[in-house]
Amino acid sequence: MQRNVALYRCRVTTSGPRKAETIYLCALELLARDGYDNLTMEAVARQSGVNKTTLYRWWPSKDALLAAALTVAAPLRLSIPDTGGFAGDLVALGLEIGRLLSSEDTSPIVRAVLSASAARPELASVGQRFFGDRLARERVIFDRAVARGEISAGLDPAFVIDLLAGSLWTHVVLRGETFSESYVRTVVGVILRGVSSPTV
Amino acid sequence: MQRNVALYRCRVTTSGPRKAETIYLCALELLARDGYDNLTMEAVARQSGVNKTTLYRWWPSKDALLAAALTVAAPLRLSIPDTGGFAGDLVALGLEIGRLLSSEDTSPIVRAVLSASAARPELASVGQRFFGDRLARERVIFDRAVARGEISAGLDPAFVIDLLAGSLWTHVVLRGETFSESYVRTVVGVILRGVSSPTV
């Protein structure tokens, strides 16, 4: 099945770190276009112009390549906001997640990756690694909020991110609603009021 | 690719409504086992023992069959709780959603369906119909809570369900965490405290 995914970033012309980055983009774009089952190391090699033997030397399998691509590929990277306040940081983070899920540039890749990892037990660890990695980076938002006395040190970052990212996923991807800043602000407001209690 | 999904419910032995129900199960189980791209009306016909011409007379396409299956198939049906209170109803609903996402019986189907609809624009309407239908049925929980004076009539049910279902999806499916009643109770507590404000 052909999907409407541009492979414009998928051509290796440099070497070193940028070379790996291009191969990651290539793998993710092929995943978005062709689906997990149809994604092969051969296709990545052909499309990127990199020798298949080279690919296998760097990543022993398609899943290893995807796991690495998910973790480091630039379009899927979330910048960690630092607005000076917990509410502002969460809104900025929510806006970035919403943008990843809805922009023409990243949405096909993110949806293909997260869907593949949800539907296939053998890929679950890839998705979990992706989320674990994201969580580790986002923890600093929570550490700063604790230091400023805005939240309790016992507040579980994963719990808050589940609510923020989960509602965006349901709203934008599953329900097909338009993503808006006002929606993110409302979600963050509810989460902040909801967790401002010693029982959470 | 072979998936570990039992097709034990996939055999038509009766006629009328139960016949349609069996065909739905068959389509969903084949979807979970083989993936969307490999699902064909031929396979559904072969597996269920129903003539392909009959299938096409009832559903003009694979997507039409999937949309119908999603909406009415028994394993994906959520019972609408009536515990006498809004918090209790939301916890019961969250427990059912968590069970759908994690039980061996339903999890492969739900994940395959929601993932396919998330990753494929052409299937988006199937997923959206599924969610629209669910939301319409769940609205009664909110109507009763408004009548009891527990929540404002302006509270958007979709907004609450996004938070509840979304956090469960992220927690259980994307993060691979174990589903627990205590997690659902905590999420519902946060949502209820969060929305108990005139600004939502």
CA A104 – CA A109 distance, rounded (Å): 9
Q: Do A159 and B131 touch (CB under 8 A)?
A: no
The mean pLDDT of B69-83, rounded to a whole number, is 82
Q: Are A17-72 and A78-195 in the same CATH fold?
A: no
Q: Do B119 and A127 touch (CB under 8 A)?
A: no
Q: Do B119 and A117 touch (CB under 8 A)?
A: no
- Pick the residue from chain A with its C-alpha nearest to B193: A194
Q: Do B37 and A1 touch (CB under 8 A)?
A: yes
pLDDT at A12: 59
Highest mean pLDDT among A166-175, B154-163, B170-179, B191-200: B154-163
Interface mutation vs chain A, best among B120, B163, B164, most A CBs within 10 Å: B163
Which fold does the domain B17-72 belong to in CATH?
A: Arc Repressor Mutant, subunit A (1.10.10)
The mean pLDDT of B169-190, rounded to a whole number, is 92
**Nearest Cβ partner for A193 among B119, B161, B194:** B194
What CATH architecture applies to the domain B78-195? Orthogonal Bundle (1.10)
Domain parsing of chain A, residue ranges: 17-72, 78-195
Q: Do B118 and A114 touch (CB under 8 A)?
A: yes
pLDDT at A75: 73
Between A183 and A123, where is the model more confident? A183
CA A79 – CA A92 distance, rounded (Å): 9
| DSSP result, A8-44 | TT----S-THHHHHHHHHHHHHHHHHH-TTT--HHHH
Are B62 and B122 within 8 A, CB to CB? no
- Pick the residue from chain A with its C-alpha nearest to B111: A119
User: How confident is the model over A13-44, as pLDDT tens digits?
Assistant: 556 667 888 898 899 888 888 877 788 999 99
Q: Do A187 and B1 touch (CB under 8 A)?
A: no
Q: Do A166 and B171 touch (CB under 8 A)?
A: yes
User: How confident is the model over B16-37, as pLDDT tens digits?
Assistant: 667 888 899 899 888 888 877 7
CA A42 – CA A52 distance, rounded (Å): 6
Residues in chain B with CB shorter than 8 Å from the CB of A3 are: 120
pLDDT at B152: 93
Among the residue ranges A22-36, A115-129, A148-162, B96-110, the one predicted with the least confidence is A115-129
Between A173 and B151, where is the model more confident? B151
Residues in chain B with CB shorter than 8 Å from the CB of A161 are: 170
Q: Do B167 and A168 touch (CB under 8 A)?
A: no
In one-letter notation, the amino acid at residue B194 is G
Greatest Cα pair distance in chain A: 57
Residue B165 Cα, gap to closest chain A Cα (Å): 7
Phi and psi, residue B161, nearest 5°? -65, -35
Q: Do B197 and A194 touch (CB under 8 A)?
A: no
The mean pLDDT of B127-156, rounded to a whole number, is 88
pLDDT value at A172 more than 80 = yes
**ipTM of model:** 0.81
pLDDT confidence of B8, banded at 50, 70, 90? low
Phi and psi, residue B106, nearest 5°? -110, -25
Residue A194 Cα, gap to closest chain B Cα (Å): 4
pLDDT value at A8 more than 80 = no
Residues in chain B with CB shorter than 8 Å from the CB of A127 are: 174, 176
Residues in chain B with CB shorter than 8 Å from the CB of A114 are: 115, 118, 174
Residues in chain A with CB shorter than 8 Å from the CB of B186 are: 159, 200
